[in-house]
Amino acid sequence: MAVAILGGLWVAGCRGDVRDHLAWGDRLLGSGRDEAALAEYQVALRKRGDDPDVLLRLAHGYAHLDRLDEASDYYVRLLAIDSSYANQALADFLAMARRALKTRDRPRLARALEQVESIRPGSVPDDLALPFARYYYELGEYASALPLYLTVLALQSDSVEPAVRYEIARVYYELEDCAQALGHYRRFLALRPSGVARGTARWHAGQCAYQLAEKDRLAGRPAGALEKLELVIELGAPQALLDDAWFERGQILFSMGEFDEASRSYQRVLDLNPTRTGRRVREAEDRIRSIRYRAPANEEVR
């Protein structure tokens, strides 16, 4: 009789009810034996398939061990079955992101936050927006970085650090939004009187100012174009555009009848080219002569 009873228990143990494995895994997890607990949950998974109770334990267990790939895999499977576990998934991925932040592992932080965004867009906490933005910034993925930087800007509109202001300006510049880039570069330059980044900011700001001046000129907005050309001149960069900036400034002033000031602008083109080799030199000389010898009744307007 005793042999028969033991035999029956052995057979029952081999069949292994899923709930037994889950319960045993929970006991192991409670005693700090995480890997052993996960092994039990894996057995339960093989027996039951994608059961939410099993998938949740596996996903949470791997998240607890900071094993991001495995946690992501099981949470994807779990949420495909039951989206009510989204809050638990968010909590686990945010916990992994914060641990990555403490160890300054920005790529890992970004991977965890990408999971957060895939589960519930817009759920990245405000204090994690800047390191997340900088991850994309460093990769050159400016379109992904921009909305995160805008979150930072909305939170710190009056106290944005110069470095962050510079990064926002660069993002807009790379996305070819010169109007926004120029505004942020000018704010950065006002905050940072010296430093390596200042030279780069002046160059980009001048480039944008010149492009915007051209748009204003072609659109028939001479006052706007003049203002931006004068900004290029004030910045002194890019140096390769200074001839053009002075010459175009002269052209606008000439068209407005400001002949003396226009002549001074054309003269600056000549001053910048003492060897008279610049491509704007001949045009500037011609304009100076036309102003000097113009007939009052036949003043030409460009």
Model confidence over 242-300: pLDDT tens digits? 999 999 999 999 999 999 999 999 999 999 999 888 889 999 999 999 999 875 544 44
| Tokens (6 digits) for 80 | 């495909």
pLDDT at 183: 96
Q: Calculate mean pLDDT across residues 90-107.
A: 96
> pLDDT of 266-276, one tens digit each?
999 999 999 88
Q: Between these two residues, 177 and 38, which has the higher pLDDT value?
A: 177
Backbone angles phi, psi at 29, to 5 degrees: -65, -40
Please give, one letter per residue, the 3-state secondary structure of 210-252: HHHHHHHHHCCCHHHHHHHHHHHHHHCCCHHHHHHHHHHHHHH
Q: Assess contact for 182 and 156: CB atoms under 8 A.
A: no
pTM, 2 dp: 0.83
Q: How many CA atoms lie within 13 A of 297 on its CB side?
A: 0
Token pair listed for 46: 């093989």
Query: Measured at the alpha carbon of residue 152, what is the angle toward residues 187 and 142, in degrees to the nearest 5?
Result: 80
Q: Mean pLDDT over residues 99-126, rounded?
A: 96
| Mean pLDDT (the chain, rounded) | 89
